[in-house]
Amino acid sequence: MLQRDYTTSQLDVLEAEAIHIMREVAAEFERPCLLFSGGKDSIVMLRIAEKAFWPAAMPFPLMHVDTGHNFDEVIEFRDRRSQELGARLIVASVQDSIDQGRVVEDTGRRASRNRLQTTTLLDAIEEHEFDAVFGGARRDEEKARAKERVFSFRDDFGQWDPKNQRPELWNLYNSRIRKGEHIRVFPLSNWTELDVWDYIRREGIEIPSIYFAHTRKVFERDGMLLPDAEVVQRGDDEPLFEAVVRYRTVGDMTCTGAVQSTAATVEEIIEEIAATRITERGATRADDRASEAAMEDRKREGYF
C-alpha cells in the first residue's frame, strides 16, 4: 500500500501541464517562437520555458509586437529580461507596418494601434516562417477565449475558426499543419489571474514596476484612468490629476487603464485581486468594450 497521498498543489499541476505543452511544441515544430510583451502572463510563460528546457537554453526566439505606444518601464524590462536569458528577441514594429503602408492608423481621440497589431504579427509570423507561436492568453480572461484550444489552429490568413476547432483530448495535441498555416499555443490556458500572481510570488519572479502602486498623472475617460503621455490624445474636458495607481494588465498606453491602488508588493496585489469584484479586462481594457463579441472578432482576424 502507498504510505502517502501524493497530492499536488494547483500551481504544481498547472506548471507541469505548461511544461509538457512547451516540450511538445519544441519536439514537434520546426520554428516556434514565444510572444513576450513584458506583461505578467508572458513573464510567467518565460519562466515556464526556462524550466522546461533547463539546463539547455530555450530552443526558440522571443518576439514582441511593439506598437510604439508601450510603457517605457515595460520596454526596458523586456530588453533586460531577454538579455539575462541570452534569448534572441525579435521586435516586430507596428510603426514599420504604418510606414510601409501595410496598415492605416486611426485618428482622433480614441485612436488605438491595438487592432493594427494583428497585421504586424501575421506579417512577422510569415517573414520568419514561424509554425508555432506561444501566447500567454488564459481562458478565464474572456468568453471567446474560454472556448479556445491549447493548440489553436490558424489558417493561411492567420484566422481562427471557433466553430471548426480540433477536439483536444487527454494531453494529446495535434500539431499537424500545412506550410503557411500555424498553431497558436497557450500553455497558461488553465491558469487564472490569481494563479499567475500566486506563481509570481512563489517563484519570486521580477515584474515591471508599473504593476505596483505609484504616483502618476492621469485623466478619466469612460470610467478608466488613462496616463498623461504624448501618444494619448486628451481633450480639454479631460483634466489631469495625480493619483496613486497601478496597472492590472499591461498593454498600450492608449487603451490600458490604471486602477487606483496602494498595493506595493506582490502580497498586497494578491490580497487586492482576491477581493476585487471586476475582471482585469473589464477594469482596464478599452479594446474589449467595443462590443460583446469584440475579442472573438479580433481573434478571428488573427489577434493574439
Partner 1 sequence: MDILRFATAGSVDDGKSTLIGRLLFDSKAIFEDQLEAVERTSRDRGTEYTDLSLLTDGLRAEREQGITIDVAYRYFATPRRKFIIADTPGHIQYTRNMVTGASTADLAIILIDARKGVLEQSRRHAFLTSLLRVPHLVLAVNKMDLVDYSQERFEEIREEFTAFASKLNVGDLTFIPISALNGDNVVSRSENMPWYNGSSLLHHLENVHIASDRNLVDVRFPVQYVIRPQKANDHAFHDYRGYAGQVAGGVLKPGDEVVHLPSGLTTRIASIDTFDGPVEEAFPPMSVTLRFEDDLDISRGDMIARPNNRPHVAQDLEAMVCWMADGAKLAPRTKLTIKHTTRTARALVRDLHYRLDVNTLHRDEEATSLGLNEIGRVSLRVTQPLFVDDYARNRLTGGFILVDEATNGTVAAGMILEAR
36 versus 151: smaller Cβ distance to partner 1: 151
CB nearer to partner 1: pick between 67 and 261: 261
Smallest gap from residue 65 Cβ to partner 1 (A): 24
For residue 55, whether the previous peptide bond is cis, meaning omega lies within 30 degrees of 0, is yes
Q: Which is nearer to partner 1, 107 or 277 (CB)?
A: 277
Calculate the alpha carbon distances from 258 to 7, 119, 121, 146, 285 in Å.
39, 27, 26, 25, 9
> Closest CB to partner 1 among 21 and 74?
21
Dist CA 176 CA 179 (whole Å): 10
Q: Which positions ≥6 away from 296 have C-beta within 8 Å?
A: 143, 144, 162
Q: Least distance to partner 1 from the beta carbon of 54, Å?
A: 4
Residue closer to partner 1 by CB (options 267, 292) is 292
- Nearest approach in angstroms of CB 132 to partner 1 is 14
| Alpha-carbon span 91 to 158, nearest angstrom | 19
Closest approach of partner 1 to the CB of residue 62, in Å? 18
Which residues contribute to the site for partner 1 (CB under 8 A)?
A: 2, 5-10, 12-17, 19-20, 23-24, 26-27, 50-57, 139-140, 142-144, 146-147, 162-163, 165-172, 174, 176-178, 189-190, 192, 194-195, 276-279, 282-283, 292-293, 296-297
Q: Which of 55, 63, 208, 39 is nearest to 134 (CA)?
A: 63
Q: For cell 468568453, name the residue.
A: 143
- In angstroms, give the least distance from the CB of 99 to partner 1: 34
Spatial distance between the Cα atoms of 280 and 193, rounded to a whole number of angstroms? 8
